[in-house]
């Protein structure tokens, strides 16, 4: 059984939902993850306040790990504004999140931080960094987005070139041991590359996370089907925090923060209209039984076999 509660907008304060969830939690020892949905703007302080409220609510409802989406810190209205607002990992924004994690004794997955690049002073370029903080307030992992969203879809009104100001990350990082299991880290556009998810699964991931800011057009077409595909092929839970709604006059996001189980079943969806969150119980036995009953990885041929088509 799984606990899934979507708490969107003002319903987050519902006493009825609180009582129901606490009643269920009293009989369920498995850990809860909170998957969040936000509407970031160029106002960093307002974004921090909104995310802090969600984290506090998630902790009050029993979550041990809280997932925030890509660009949780801000979404700029131009390249110049985006670069002017970025910080280092030792800056004020990350300091406030480490303090929050320590105060609440909760793990945080911060799904896409605008981090100043290694040659910031000379080239003014950044990383899109997924930062994991433990319940003591320590940064335990940083994954820098590997695949950058350079896409022109004129018929759908989509035109973004992330590489204009972002540096691709140098490598994947090992899955992180958290209270809900081993979490493999991706970011948004990484979702379209199954090689990444399979590499994380081979390295021990039981849960994959793709914090995102999908466009409305690409989200409507591909978001759910890609997340379910990644879950099915790796037999992992997939948790995907999301941006939703209008960030500024030039950009909106699809929303539908999603949780998927290792069989590919959608456990929860936060919808496409408002900020909110859902709580999901993570059962490690679901991963084990799915892999045991359908041992896909044991049936996989060696690497040379899959390369042979290129040589014939």
Are the C-beta atoms of residues 48 and 96 closer than 8 Å to each other?
yes
Identify the active-site residue in 6, 51, 86, 145. Answer: 145
Identify the active-site residue in 6, 36, 51, 188. Answer: 188
Identify the active-site residue in 6, 57, 59, 70. Answer: 70
Task: Confirm whether 70 is a catalytic residue.
Answer: yes
Residues belonging to the active site: 70, 145, 188
């Amino acid at each position: 059984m799984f606990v899934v509660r979507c708490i969107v907008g003002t319903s987050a304060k519902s006493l009825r939902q609180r009582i129901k969830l606490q009643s269920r939690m009293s009989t369920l020892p498995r850990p809860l993850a909170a998957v969040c949905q936000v509407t970031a703007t160029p106002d960093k302080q307002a974004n921090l306040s909104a995310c802090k409220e969600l984290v506090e609510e998630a902790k009050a409802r029993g979550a041990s790990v809280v997932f925030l989406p890509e660009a949780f810190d801000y979404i700029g209205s131009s390249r110049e504004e985006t670069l002017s607002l970025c910080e280092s990992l030792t800056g004020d924004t990350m300091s406030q999140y480490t303090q929050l994690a320590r105060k609440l004794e909760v793990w945080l997955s911060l799904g896409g931080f605008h981090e100043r690049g290694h040659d910031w002073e000379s080239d003014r370029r950044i990383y899109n960094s997924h930062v994991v903080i433990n319940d003591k307030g320590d940064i335990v992992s940083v994954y820098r987005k590997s695949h950058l969203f350079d896409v022109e879809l004129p018929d759908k009104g989509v035109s973004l070139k992330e590489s204009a100001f972002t540096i691709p990350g140098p490598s994947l990082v090992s899955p992180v041991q958290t209270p809900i299991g081993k979490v493999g880290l991706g970011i948004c556009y990484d979702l379209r590359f199954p090689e990444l998810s399979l590499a994380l699964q081979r390295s021990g991931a039981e849960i994959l996370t793709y914090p995102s800011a999908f466009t409305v057009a690409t989200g409507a077409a591909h978001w759910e089907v890609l997340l379910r595909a990644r879950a099915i092929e790796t037999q992992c839970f997939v948790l995907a925090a999301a941006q939703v709604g209008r960030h500024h006059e030039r950009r909106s996001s699809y929303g539908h923060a999603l949780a998927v189980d290792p069989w590919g079943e959608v456990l929860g969806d936060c919808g496409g209209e408002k900020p909110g969150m859902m709580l999901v119980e993570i059962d490690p036995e679901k991963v084990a039984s799915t892999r045991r009953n359908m041992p896909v990885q044991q049936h996989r041929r060696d690497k040379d076999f899959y390369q042979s088509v290129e040589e014939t």
